[in-house]
Structure 1
C-alpha cells in the first residue's frame, strides 16, 4: 500500500503531465486517480464510478467523465488496464512495484505475483536475442481455485 506522501507525489506528477501537454487540470482526473491509488484490487470503470459516488458524494462526476479520465490516465502511463473481452477493462495504478497477473476467465479474479526466476529468464532470452526490454506485462489465464471446485 502506498503512503499518503507517495500518493501526493503521483497527483503532482498528474498535474505536471497535464501542464506539459497544455491541457486544463481537472479535479475529476485527480479523483479517478485517487480512487485507483487507494484501491486494493483492479477496478472496472463502473466500480471506479461507484467508489466516487460513495467517497465523493458531493461531486457530480458522470460515468462518461470516468471513462474519459481513465483513458487519459492510461495514455499518460499513470494507470494500466487488463482487458476482459466482453467485461471490458479493469484498471490499477502504475505506482505499485512490478508484478504479473493470474486471471480467472470464469469469475474475473486477478491474482498478482512476482517471480524472480521468470524475470531472470526473460532477461536471458532478451540478451540472447540482442533485444532490449523496455517494459513487459504477463497475464496468465485460467480458472481460480474457487471456480475449479
Structure 2
C-alpha cells in the first residue's frame, strides 16, 4: 500500500516525536508493527500483524502481547485506526490513507472501503443545520456481502 520509503521515514519521525513528547522510550517493536500496517493492503487482526512481523523479522523476539501493546499505543496516538467486530475482536489499518468509510460483512468479515462525496456533503450539511462543527467521523455499514447473502 504505502511502501514509499520517504513517507515511511516521515511517519517514523512523527512516531519518534510523539514518543518523546509522552516521555516514553522509542522501541523498534512499535516501529515494526507500524511498518506492517503501513504496507498492508487490507485490514489486519493483531494475530495477522504478529504473523507478518514474525515473517519479516524471524530473529526478533516480539511476542503477541507486545504487538497488542504496540497497537494500543499506535491507536491512542492516532497513527492507526481499528474496526471492532464485537466478540471477534478488531482489525487495524494505518491512518495515512485519505478519509474513507467501510462496508462490513457480518458473516465473513469482508471489509470494503468506499468514498462518497455526496454522503460527505450531507453529513456536513446535517452538522451545520444542527450547529455542529464536525472534527471527525466514522461510518460503518454492516450487512452481508454478495457471497454471504
Q: TM-score, normalised by structure 1?
A: 0.97
Equivalent position of 2:18 in the other structure: 17
The Cα offsets for residues 11-66 of structure 1, whole Å up to 9 and x where unpaired, read as 11001000010000000000000000000000000000000111111111000000
Equivalent position of 1:40 in the other structure: 41
Q: TM-score, normalised by structure 2?
A: 0.97
Where 1:36 maps in the other structure, the secondary structure is helix
Equivalent position of 1:134 in the other structure: 135
Where 2:83 maps in the other structure, the secondary structure is strand
Q: Does 1:113 align with 2:104?
A: no
Tell me how far apart the structure 2 counterparts of residues 107 and 4 of structure 1 sit (CA, whole Å). Answer: 34
The Cα offsets for residues 68-124 of structure 1, whole Å up to 9 and x where unpaired, read as 000000000000000001110000000111000000000000000000000000000
Tell me how far apart the structure 1 counterparts of residues 7 and 103 of structure 2 sit (CA, whole Å). Answer: 27
Tell me how far apart the structure 2 counterparts of residues 29 and 47 of structure 1 sit (CA, whole Å). Answer: 15
> Which consecutive residues of structure 2, in runs of 5 or more, have no partner in the other structure?
none
Equivalent position of 2:60 in the other structure: 59
Where 1:52 maps in the other structure, the secondary structure is helix
TM-superposed deviation, 1:4: 2.0
Tell me how far apart the structure 2 counterparts of residues 4 and 107 of structure 1 sit (CA, whole Å). Answer: 34
TM-superposed deviation, 1:133: 0.3
How many residue pairs were aligned? Answer: 148
Task: Provide the aligned C-alpha RMSD in A.
Answer: 0.7
Tell me how far apart the structure 2 counterparts of residues 96 and 82 of structure 1 sit (CA, whole Å). Answer: 15
Tell me how far apart the structure 2 counterparts of residues 11 and 144 of structure 1 sit (CA, whole Å). Answer: 36
